[in-house]
Structure formats: C-alpha cells, structure tokens
Amino acid sequence: MSARTKSRKRALDILYGADVRGIEIATLLGAEAERAETQPERGSSWPYAREIVEGVDRHLAELDEEIEAHSQGWSLARMPALDRAIARLAAWEILHNDEVPDGVAIAEAVDLATSLSTEESSGYLNGLLGAISRDRESL
C-alpha cells in the first residue's frame, strides 16, 4: 500500500469520525496530530493526511455543494456517512489538488468504498466523482 493510500485512509478515519460523532473536523485533526507525534512509525502517512483533512475542512461548504449538485437525487443526509466522507475526500483531491490526477482520486475513492462500504457505494461514488471531474474539466 502506497504512502498516499495510507494517508487517504487516515484522512478518511478523521473525516468519518468527525461526521459520525458530530464534532468539528479540527477537533479530531488536533487529536490525530498529537497521536502522530507519539507514533513516529506512522509518520509517513501523516503529512498528506493532514493536508487532505485541512483542505476538506477549509472547503467543506463548497465540496458539499458540488457533491449535492452531482448526486442525482441523493442529498448528503441520505448518503451513508462513510460514503459522504469518501466523496468529500475525493472531491477535494479533484477540485483542489492539482498534484493528483482526477482518475487516481476517483480510483482511490472507489477502492476505499469497495473495501469499506456497501456493494453499491463504489459504483455510486465512481459516477458521482466522474461527474464532478467532467464538470471541472469543462470550466
């Protein structure tokens, strides 16, 4: 598993945890930063995980708007919390991280959904994120 894949999983844990527990993303980010200092063996995944979480937190309203606009009748509230967190993570990579090709962001999100969420989640997220990517490219 690549360092970036580990970072995405770590970021997903934070985003999902904040959503499910109903607490601020920044609160969990701070707790994870403390953990990163005491567990240097996990250090390689921390910088990019932090970048993702900070980016999602900073652009949350915009990301949610994009996800809702492309979700074909599914509100964010109707999405499983895990799918919502994966969508936010990948949408941030698509819209705000030019270092990651859109196809990689989508493939990584689909892999996360395949291994962690429902049978339908990977296909749904693939379509949703593909639509966000296509709209971004047409601007």
For every residue of the chain, DSSP letters joined together read: --HHHHHHHHHHHHHHHHHHHT--HHHHHHHHHHHHHH-GGGGGGHHHHHHHHHHHHHTHHHHHHHHHHHSTT--GGGS-HHHHHHHHHHHHHHHH-TTS-HHHHHHHHHHHHHHHS-TTHHHHHHHHHHHHHHHHHT-
Q: What is the CATH number of the domain that holds 53?
A: 1.10.940.10
Instruction: Say how many domains are in the chain.
Output: 1
pTM comes to 0.94
Which pair of tokens denotes residue 134? Answer: 């296509």
pLDDT in tens, 45-87: 899 999 999 999 999 999 999 999 999 877 899 999 999 999 9
pLDDT for res 40: 75
Domain residue limits at 55:
3-137
pLDDT for res 139: 59
pLDDT for res 121: 94
